[in-house]
Amino acid sequence: MVALLHVHPTRQADLREPDEPRISPAVPIDEYEDSFGNVCTRFVAPAGNFRLSHSTLVEDSGEPEPVCPQARQVPVEDLPPEILRYLLPSRYCEVDRLVEIAGNLFGGFSPGWPRVQAVCDWVQANVAFGYHFASPTKTAVDVYHDRNGVCRDFQHLAITFCRCLNIPARYATGYLGDIGVPARPPMDFSAWLEVFLHDRWWTFDARNNTPRIGRVLMATGRDAADVAITTSFGTSVLKSFNVVTEEVTTTKAATAE
Amino acid sequence: MVALLHVHPTRQADLREPDEPRISPAVPIDEYEDSFGNVCTRFVAPAGNFRLSHSTLVEDSGEPEPVCPQARQVPVEDLPPEILRYLLPSRYCEVDRLVEIAGNLFGGFSPGWPRVQAVCDWVQANVAFGYHFASPTKTAVDVYHDRNGVCRDFQHLAITFCRCLNIPARYATGYLGDIGVPARPPMDFSAWLEVFLHDRWWTFDARNNTPRIGRVLMATGRDAADVAITTSFGTSVLKSFNVVTEEVTTTKAATAE
Amino acid sequence: MVALLHVHPTRQADLREPDEPRISPAVPIDEYEDSFGNVCTRFVAPAGNFRLSHSTLVEDSGEPEPVCPQARQVPVEDLPPEILRYLLPSRYCEVDRLVEIAGNLFGGFSPGWPRVQAVCDWVQANVAFGYHFASPTKTAVDVYHDRNGVCRDFQHLAITFCRCLNIPARYATGYLGDIGVPARPPMDFSAWLEVFLHDRWWTFDARNNTPRIGRVLMATGRDAADVAITTSFGTSVLKSFNVVTEEVTTTKAATAE
Amino acid sequence: MVALLHVHPTRQADLREPDEPRISPAVPIDEYEDSFGNVCTRFVAPAGNFRLSHSTLVEDSGEPEPVCPQARQVPVEDLPPEILRYLLPSRYCEVDRLVEIAGNLFGGFSPGWPRVQAVCDWVQANVAFGYHFASPTKTAVDVYHDRNGVCRDFQHLAITFCRCLNIPARYATGYLGDIGVPARPPMDFSAWLEVFLHDRWWTFDARNNTPRIGRVLMATGRDAADVAITTSFGTSVLKSFNVVTEEVTTTKAATAE
């Protein structure tokens, strides 16, 4: 079994508590870095019931994600080579089937940030959210037609549109608390997307579609197939699942003590 | 534009002529290695007509690919971490949708080589070949139902079945001459699959399904989306396309002169 | 708006109370018979909230559906012409995509009743039931891969397999009470399938897969697209939905008074 | 085997030669009318090779199909009941998956004829024709994404869009000669669509998209699944196929002699 539970390496410096997944009953755990730079946990699941858990404390800037409308779209010929794979189709992102549609819908917007924002606006406005719309085989084309889905479906459609427009886009998963938004019990890990503009990856979220405070990135990949929280290579049944994100408001001084 | 024309790094030692793609009219060419280890050629295509060509000479053992029925299936927990991604679904390989079917069809065969061979036998026996069945959006599930396709479709279905059975499998593309088989004009690059057993990748071919002499590997990836001969990030029209594979029979002594 | 609420004409003789759909606020109602022989209710929905209701009393034999293993499969050339359309593909039944699979799975069973029973057994055994698997666009091919669905999905897959095997099959919808089975609150209209063998249509049910007492047929068609309980040609929202089936045990003498 | 070779009953009065399909070697032939009013030919194919042929002479007005931009769209509530089924989804026309898209693309055009014409214009402009794009399982959604197909694919997409817009539409198949257009050898039966406006069905053609002289209707149905030229309920191989349409220019006086 492979699990993606660690906080992403880019947030290691912000950890204020150890970042160690736990399995009970205890079994040996291996760690490795996958081809996307995520830290994966790998173990042979014990027979019978077992519990996989993880808890840590992350210091956050307390600022919402940056918004940078002037971030320019990088011409494909100037993209770093390692970025190019985020333009290709993947399991849930059929770039080859949505190229014409993306061009028609978004070709009229300015390249770069405004075009990405137009993609997110369209997806948020045209797709209905509902947990009963979840399906593990649902692809961007399905979402485009059915016009409904869960968090990951919104992001898959937005990612696919961006790639169709020659804007590198990847899938991100992690914690999203409710800091600064009307209280709502967090019920699951969250998904969002990252888009490469100018010289870096930027956070967008085609479902919430507003900058948020306190996202904690765990993993990125081409789509959800690359960054499942757990991937079982055998039969397993999920009996219970619980995600809690809490804000611990301490002053920096206090933390330093 | 990105092109995959170089011979694969694993065959560099066998090159007897330079391995340099040419573009006319000439434009600057960059090379980079993608995340799968393939050598990619990247350039801004000149406006108007242009010609992309490549020619080299490769020394081959003259032996057909090895057959090793005792090559064992590696338990998932013992697979090297960098191999795990070849168990996941990808654009043309919907592992998540064929798991039950693969289990029903091939669960009765011995793990390892015999099970992979059973997959290739089934695909070859049940899928009809025809160039008019080609479609750039055809996936393994489509091939499973339509029971027809071109070379890449055979391999996509076989790769997907292998992954469903927890056997790492990847897509390979390159030259396949007709040495040792009834003469047939080579008309296209060929595709086959590679399967990880014991401690290495092995060549299988769900279309031809017999060991062949003189395959020259160019690139490997999760499926055809990763290793297109050319990927255009803009509009382009293929006006003509020509692949020639010839056997140059010289003695080793002669070559050394 | 078109509604299918009437009891099927074949059960008219069993009605012990009027069989009249009601709409409040009241609007004019038309009735017509569709090309499958179902009695349809048609009306212009009043603006705002409205309630569509129906209630009747049906006398039933109290016997489970007949089981007739010797009912023979009619060769296609001997089928009545009006039956032939139940061999063709329809919206949710991609006969053209499942022919090979059906032949492989069921070709070994005796034609006629045993082959149909084998289809229902396979579907019941291989498809998981769950209301959260419901999707209005789910087809037989989707059910075959996802291996889950609601009542209608089970029937669509079974219908498709039967047609692939040259056995005419159609979709049926109506009331299914819980007489003779462990009590369970009826929550929806039910779907089953009818199969043409020997010289008549027979009831099968790929979900419950056991003869039942007290089915009340409302409509039949090629698949669920033909016999939706309501079809809206405009925007409408279903606010509440309630189906109740109760057994009224009176002696015939009493009823005759 | 069922064949649709007869000229449609609506053109019977125009026949100037007998309209009799022939099979050699000769086998008994039955005729029946299907639920759409088409005259079907039904027979048990002789074992081995056989030839199915048909030839007749039809008198035509010599006028192109009528164009009537003022033909109004009939509100659903006023449609004759037997027309309603041409609003529903069918095998190749996933109305349920294209409703939103059709509304976005064509909602801005005037209802009735102009909206239908806008549908045909869009399909003709956005879909590329090519015999190598033919696939027996290709649906309207596939055509919408792939943007290519053969004659029937153009019509399936246009039919689906019309139904999404509450305009009844059906599939038509028959002969289309080349009278009045630049000479082109007829190579196949042709497909077009019929749309119900005002009080009758009108001919549209999303591929040629211009009124033509000399269409000879053979059959209509919900989509191509209903009106295949031949439907085999067993294995058969098409060895050769030939359609010839010739204009016989005689004066009416001469014909009357």
Give D118-142 pLDDT, tens digit per residue.
Answer: 999 999 999 999 888 889 899 999 9
DSSP letters for chain B: -EE--SPPGGGGGGBSS----EEES----EEEE-TTS-EEEE-PPPSS--EEE----B----PPPP--TTPPPPPGGGS-GGGGGGGS-BTTB-HHHHHHHHHHHHTTSPTTHHHHHHHHHHHHHH-EE-GGG--TT--HHHHHHH-EE-HHHHHHHHHHHHHHTT--EEEEEEEE--TTS------S-EEEEEEEETTEEEEE-TTT-S--S-EEEEEEESSTTT--SEE-SS-----------------HHHHH-
Q: What pLDDT was estimated at residue A179?
A: 59
Q: Give the separation between CA B124 and CA B6, rounded to whole angstroms.
A: 29
Residue of B nearest to C145 (CA): B97
Q: What pLDDT was estimated at residue A241?
A: 84
Give the sign of the dihedral formed by CA B201, CA B207, CA B211, CA B215: negative
Residue of A nearest to D142 (CA): A97
Q: B138 versus B240: which is more confidently predicted?
A: B138
Quickly state the pLDDT bin for B184 (edges 50, 70, 90). Answer: low
Give yes or no for C23 touching D (CB within 8 A).
no
Take residue B79 and report the two structure tokens written for it.
Answer: 């697979």
Q: Give the separation between CA A82 and CA C61, rounded to whole angstroms.
A: 72
Q: What pLDDT was estimated at residue A250?
A: 65
Q: Give the separation between CA A150 and CA A130, rounded to whole angstroms.
A: 6
User: What is the pTM assigned to this prediction?
Assistant: 0.88
Q: What pLDDT was estimated at residue A254?
A: 36
Q: Which residues of chain A have pLDDT under 70?
A: 178-187, 250-257
Evaluate if residue B196 carries a pLDDT over 90: yes
Name C112's Cβ contacts closer than 8 Å, sequence gap at least 6. Answer: C70, C71, C72, C73, C197
Take residue A160 and report the two structure tokens written for it.
Answer: 């696919």
Q: Give the separation between CA C2 and CA C7, rounded to whole angstroms.
A: 15
Give yes or no for C104 touching D (CB within 8 A).
no
Q: What pLDDT was estimated at residue A178?
A: 65
| DSSP letter assigned to residue D107 | T
Q: Which of A151-160, B13-22, D11-20 has the highest mean pLDDT?
A: A151-160
Name D245's Cβ contacts closer than 8 Å, sequence gap at least 6. Answer: D175, D176, D177, D178, D186, D214, D216
Evaluate if residue D84 carries a pLDDT over 60: yes
Of the candidates A151, A162, A148, A165, which has an alpha carbon nearest to the alpha carbon of residue A212?
A151
Evaluate if residue B164 carries a pLDDT over 60: yes
Q: Which chains touch D (3 or more CB pairs under 8 A)?
A: A, B, C
Q: C79 versus D235: which is more confidently predicted?
A: C79
Q: Which chains touch C (3 or more CB pairs under 8 A)?
A: A, B, D
Q: Give the separation between CA D94 and CA D91, rounded to whole angstroms.
A: 7
Q: Give the separation between CA D48 and CA A127, rounded to whole angstroms.
A: 55
Do residue A97 and residue D146 have CB atoms under 8 angstroms apart? yes
Do residue C137 and residue D40 have CB atoms under 8 angstroms apart? no
Q: How many CB atoms lie within 10 A of CB B111?
A: 17
Do residue B132 and residue D137 have CB atoms under 8 angstroms apart? no
Q: Give the separation between CA A163 and CA A98, rounded to whole angstroms.
A: 10
Give the sign of the dihedral formed by CA D128, CA D134, CA D138, CA D139: positive
Residue at token pair 């479902």? A207
Give yes or no for A27 touching B (CB within 8 A).
no
**Minimal C-alpha gap between B131 and chain D (Å):** 9
Evaluate if residue D110 carries a pLDDT over 70: yes
Evaluate if residue D219 carries a pLDDT over 90: yes
Do residue B134 and residue D134 have CB atoms under 8 angstroms apart? no
Q: Which of B60-64, C115-119, D5-9 has the highest mean pLDDT?
A: C115-119
Asked if C224 and C190 count as a contact pair (C-beta separation under 8 A), the reply is no
Stretch (H or E) spanning A239: none
Q: What pLDDT was estimated at residue B34?
A: 94
Q: How many CB atoms lie within 10 A of CB A35?
A: 14
Cα atoms in the 13 Å half-sphere on the side-chain side of A148: 14
Give yes or no for C134 touching A (CB within 8 A).
yes
Give yes or no for C226 touching D (CB within 8 A).
yes
Q: Give the separation between CA A82 and CA A125, rounded to whole angstroms.
A: 32
**Minimal C-alpha gap between D160 and chain A (Å):** 14
Question: Which residues in chain C are closer than 8 Å to A146, comparing Cβ atoms?
Answer: 135, 137
User: Number of CB pairs < 8 Å for A and C?
Assistant: 12
Give yes or no for B135 touching D (CB within 8 A).
yes
Give the sign of the dihedral formed by CA A4, CA B92, CA A170, CA B4: positive
Name B257's Cβ contacts closer than 8 Å, sequence gap at least 6. Answer: none
**Residue B69 burial by CB count (10 A; 0-12/13-18/19+): exposed, middle or buried?**
exposed
**Minimal C-alpha gap between B132 and chain D (Å):** 5
Coil vs helix vs strand at D250? coil
Give yes or no for D159 touching C (CB within 8 A).
no
Q: How far is CA C228 from the centre of its chain?
A: 10
Do residue D97 and residue A147 have CB atoms under 8 angstroms apart? no
Q: How far is CA C108 from the centre of its chain?
A: 27
Residue of C nearest to A130 (CA): C132
**Minimal C-alpha gap between D85 and chain C (Å):** 8
Evaluate if residue B170 carries a pLDDT over 90: yes
Q: Give the separation between CA D176 and CA D188, rounded to whole angstroms.
A: 9
Name B122's Cβ contacts closer than 8 Å, sequence gap at least 6. Answer: B105, B106, B161
| DSSP letter assigned to residue D79 | S
Do residue C145 and residue A137 have CB atoms under 8 angstroms apart? yes
Question: Which residues in chain B are closer than 8 Å to C146, comparing Cβ atoms?
Answer: 97
Coil vs helix vs strand at D21? coil
**Minimal C-alpha gap between D229 and chain A (Å):** 31
Q: C244 versus B125: which is more confidently predicted?
A: B125
Residue at token pair 């390496």? A9
Q: Tell me what the pLDDT averaged over chain D comes to.
A: 90
Do residue C145 and residue A135 have CB atoms under 8 angstroms apart? no
**Strand ranges across the sheet with C215-221:** C200-204, C190-197, C169-176, C215-221
Stretch (H or E) spanning A235: none
Do residue C34 and residue D97 have CB atoms under 8 angstroms apart? no
Evaluate if residue B254 carries a pLDDT over 50: no
Long-range contacts of D228-233 (CB under 8 A, 24+ apart): D228/D4, D229/D3, D229/D4, D229/D5, D229/D173, D229/D189, D230/D1, D230/D2, D230/D3, D230/D4, D230/D52, D231/C88, D231/D1, D231/D2, D231/D3, D232/D1, D232/D45, D233/C76, D233/C87, D233/C166, D233/D1, D233/D2
Coil vs helix vs strand at D82? helix
Q: How far is CA C160 from the centre of its chain?
A: 14
The tens digit of pLDDT for each residue in C152-194 reads 999 999 999 999 999 999 999 998 876 555 555 546 789 999 9
DSSP letters for A57-87: -B----PPPP--TTPPPPPGGGS-GGGGGGG
Residues in chain D, overall count: 257
Residue at token pair 């016989």? D248
Take residue A113 and report the two structure tokens written for it.
Answer: 């940030």
Q: Give the separation between CA C43 and CA B172, rounded to whole angstroms.
A: 60
The tens digit of pLDDT for each residue in D17-75 reads 998 889 999 999 999 999 999 999 999 998 899 999 998 999 988 899 999 999 999 99
Over residues C224-249, mean pLDDT: 87
Q: Name the residue type at position A57.
A: L
Q: How many CB atoms lie within 10 A of CB D60?
A: 14
Give yes or no for C160 touching D (CB within 8 A).
no
Q: List the single residue in A32, A85, A137 with the smallest CB-CB distance to B81.
A: A32
Take residue D109 and report the two structure tokens written for it.
Answer: 């055009």
Give yes or no for D81 touching C (CB within 8 A).
yes
Q: List the single residue in D132, D137, D146 with the smallest CB-CB distance to B146.
A: D137
Asked if D187 and D176 count as a contact pair (C-beta separation under 8 A), the reply is no
Give yes or no for D100 touching A (CB within 8 A).
yes
Coil vs helix vs strand at C53? strand
Q: Give the separation between CA A8 and CA A215, rounded to whole angstroms.
A: 11
Do residue A126 and residue D100 have CB atoms under 8 angstroms apart? yes
Question: Which residues in chain B are closer than 8 Å to D146, comparing Cβ atoms?
Answer: 135, 137
Q: List the single residue in D100, D126, D145 with the smallest CB-CB distance to A141.
A: D145
Evaluate if residue D254 carries a pLDDT over 60: no
Take residue A251 and report the two structure tokens written for it.
Answer: 């002053």
Q: List the single residue in C34, C89, C226 with the smallest CB-CB distance to D225.
A: C89
Q: Give the separation between CA D255 and CA C72, rounded to whole angstroms.
A: 54
Q: What is the largest CA-CA distance in chain D?
A: 58
D-contacting residues in A 174-203 (Cβ below 8 Å): none
Q: What pLDDT was estimated at residue B207?
A: 96
Give yes or no for A107 touching B (CB within 8 A).
no
Task: List, in sequence order, the alpha helices (H) in D137-257.
Answer: 140-146, 151-164, 252-256
Asked if A59 and A255 count as a contact pair (C-beta separation under 8 A), the reply is yes
Asked if B86 and B168 count as a contact pair (C-beta separation under 8 A), the reply is yes
Evaluate if residue B15 carries a pLDDT over 80: yes
Q: Give the separation between CA A35 and CA A22, rounded to whole angstroms.
A: 24
Coil vs helix vs strand at D112? coil
Q: Give the separation between CA B173 and CA B193, rounded to whole angstroms.
A: 8
Q: What pLDDT was estimated at residue D248?
A: 83
Q: Give the separation between CA C204 and CA C227, rounded to whole angstroms.
A: 17
